[in-house]
Structure 1
């Protein structure tokens, strides 16, 4: 992460007075007085994790900043993140979520725009926010809008759009991950057809990524969820698996075909595939289990899924890691493109904008990596480092 500041602007720990559960908010940076970053809920979530995620959000925003684009209405924001150390399946989890948002209401109202992340769907976050007395989880950005009423209507309409039974808001991020993958394949001269994919996670990000890659002609040969790995060397029926998911992305095994195999949970790592997509949890790939990976590319659809020591070992083995700050950034960007009016509440328009923007960004990162002789992650950091001072000069460090 670029050393743009010695410490986050805001870092706080909340303790639930009912359950003792810990929650965290880190605002790494403000731009025009506002920051952006989702709220996750998982058992074991820590302040250090949330801090790293907030720094990553600063990078994602900076990577989508183009100082020369005078037509763009969306101006990237600062980076932030929230996290709650709780199992989202715990019966007490919803009450914890409501109390967290109620306690942090002044931050959500004024400086932190947030939304769904690991363990939390947008519908649940919106319901809890309303119960906590919030107008919206993105209301801090309203003063920056030209026409707040029209912008809110546009975003609401976009969230009502579905494609093949899945909401546009759930598909946007996966579209970006898939396009990042396709851009890497194209630069390497690798055909889409016949390229195999293994994914960890079939939730919002993993499910959408699987759909778009399958539609592009790739073959999904393995998918892992909380119950284990589902595999088929000839290819899984992605649409059938998506239709058989529960609210947490777990697949009902009754939907499997006779030729589909049920394997241990970590079998996705060593699948015979060119593309490996960790799309579920942070820290999924460590220095030990990375030895199982046979893929040519690891595409980080989740936030921080590959530990630094694991990435160094993968690079030594000639495996390229496409970093989270690049490939999964379309989820956040799509919200703002829609709210600010760069795209309308239309799926095809949104997908075109996402594909164009992500391909430009991935190409730029890979070109920088080739020119500097470094990893794509280091190249992304370098690009963000170049852009942050320009943003600071234009908007100030703290808004």
Structure 2
């Protein structure tokens, strides 16, 4: 599958691991107040073009949630990626050498954290080995209350909700809220809705949890080992308990009556809500006719190629774009750091619900009124916010 090309970035780094020959990348798309934000992913086949697109997506995410009433001052967009399977026993050592090589950028500009294939506790441990108190030191250096901000962030990550760290849930909670608001706009009641989730890591697992909690019947999930399906509705909490650190569900823990299928069969399962929440570029033009959903909600970054999205929309299937649907992981970090939410699930979820409903209502109303796509209208909102940010702070890139 061909990945889309993109415009030039402010900074691009390509690194070659001297031990394994694996490639790593950092892309800074924009800087606001000299800072950028965006996670670091580990994925076999990760490319510079992919990381460039992800960095541009982070620029959009930061601008999208801008609210002058918040203490949170948005950052620019950046991203990192390493071309290695996260299950490779060499992955942590490669990660350590990569971060050591790009440490000046992490210290001064790029504020990063977990992403696809990389858990926060892993990157935190590696950062500590390299002498970093955190991977967001560049932001802490700008705060008058940095010690309190550090404490808020540590407290938030220590908050367990159903046995899972709040930090591993907020992104998927936001995706679930995007799906529920969009379903409401389409006249689909949660109690009668069905969902399929591709990917069962932090985003996919949490999205499945909170869709099920709202009454949606999650009938299929897909991880790297294949599809798990039960049209009667899966026990999401049991699946979460049987999940390993890479989001793979232990098959010997599955109840009787569950069907197993190929890892790409998730596209063909009839449902109301389809949530691709793992890899990029998983829905291409050749996949469009296989999609049997009423709404696609992009939990992953860049899961749908532009030609495929256009074809889905032409079929009457709206696509909630990634930089809107999955914006809450990034926003939540900074809301906690800047003090816009208390470091609790109750405060965090209330803010996420309110902001997601506001954003999707504004974007959805604009799309309904104009006949344009959700992505087009979300990009226009991002552009307006970017102009406001540029006027207030100046933006590089």
Q: Which consecutive segments of 4 or more residues in structure 1 shift more than 6 A?
A: none
2:140 aligned residue: 142
In terms of mean alpha carbon deviation, does 48-57 or 135-144 score higher?
A: 135-144
2:32 aligned residue: 31
Q: Return the match for 1:203 from 153, 176, 201.
A: 201
**Residue 269 of structure 1 aligns to a residue in which SS?**
helix
TM-superposed CA distance for 1:383, in Å, is: 1.0
TM-superposed CA distance for 1:6, in Å, is: 5.9
CA contact (8 A) 1:274 1:297 kept: yes
TM-superposed CA distance for 1:133, in Å, is: 2.5
Distance in 2 between residues matched to 1:41 and 1:132, nearest whole Å: 19
1:288 aligned residue: 286
- The answer to whether structure 1 residue 363 and structure 2 residue 364 are counterparts is no
TM-superposed CA distance for 1:66, in Å, is: 2.3
TM-superposed CA distance for 1:189, in Å, is: 2.2
Q: Return the match for 1:345 from 338, 343, 350.
A: 343
CA contact (8 A) 1:102 1:133 kept: no
Q: TM-score, normalised by structure 2?
A: 0.97
Matches for 1:79-90 after TM superposition, within 5 Å: 79-90=77-88
**Residue 169 of structure 2 aligns to a residue in which SS?**
helix
**Residue 303 of structure 1 aligns to a residue in which SS?**
coil
- The answer to whether structure 1 residue 212 and structure 2 residue 210 are counterparts is yes
2:89 aligned residue: 91
Matches for 1:101-250 after TM superposition, within 5 Å: 101-250=99-248
1:257 aligned residue: 255
TM-superposed CA distance for 1:372, in Å, is: 2.7
> Which string of whole-angstrom CA distances, capped at 9 and with x for unpartnered residues, describes residues 114-155 of structure 1?
000000000001111112222210001012222000000110
Consecutive unaligned residues of structure 1, counting only runs of 5 or more, are: none
TM-superposed CA distance for 1:18, in Å, is: 1.4
1:47 aligned residue: 48
> Which string of whole-angstrom CA distances, capped at 9 and with x for unpartnered residues, describes residues 220-249 of structure 1?
000011111000111011110010001111
TM-superposed CA distance for 1:390, in Å, is: 1.6
Distance in 2 between residues matched to 1:144 and 1:133, nearest whole Å: 19
> Which string of whole-angstrom CA distances, capped at 9 and with x for unpartnered residues, describes residues 311-333 of structure 1?
11111111111000001000000
Distance in 2 between residues matched to 1:113 and 1:212, nearest whole Å: 28
TM-superposed CA distance for 1:186, in Å, is: 1.5
2:71 aligned residue: 73
TM-superposed CA distance for 1:398, in Å, is: 2.7
TM-superposed CA distance for 1:26, in Å, is: 0.5
> Which string of whole-angstrom CA distances, capped at 9 and with x for unpartnered residues, describes residues 190-235 of structure 1?
2110200001111110000000000000000000111110001110
In terms of mean alpha carbon deviation, does 323-332 or 246-255 score higher?
A: 246-255
Distance in 1 between residues matched to 2:361 and 2:24, nearest whole Å: 37
TM-superposed CA distance for 1:281, in Å, is: 0.5
Computed over aligned residues only, the root mean square deviation of the Cα atoms, in angstroms, reads 1.2
In terms of mean alpha carbon deviation, does 286-295 or 168-177 score higher?
A: 286-295
Distance in 1 between residues matched to 2:282 and 2:378, nearest whole Å: 21
**Residue 32 of structure 2 aligns to a residue in which SS?**
coil
Consecutive unaligned residues of structure 2, counting only runs of 5 or more, are: 1-5
In terms of mean alpha carbon deviation, does 164-173 or 183-192 score higher?
A: 183-192
Distance in 2 between residues matched to 1:162 and 1:223, nearest whole Å: 23
Distance in 2 between residues matched to 1:187 and 1:328, nearest whole Å: 19
1:301 aligned residue: 299
Distance in 2 between residues matched to 1:351 and 1:264, nearest whole Å: 34
TM-superposed CA distance for 1:255, in Å, is: 1.6
Distance in 2 between residues matched to 1:264 and 1:187, nearest whole Å: 32
User: How many aligned residue pairs are there?
Assistant: 392
**Residue 285 of structure 2 aligns to a residue in which SS?**
coil
**Residue 350 of structure 1 aligns to a residue in which SS?**
helix
Q: Return the match for 1:273 from 271, 283, 291.
A: 271
**Residue 20 of structure 1 aligns to a residue in which SS?**
coil
Distance in 1 between residues matched to 2:370 and 2:379, nearest whole Å: 12
1:58 aligned residue: 59
CA contact (8 A) 1:159 1:167 kept: yes
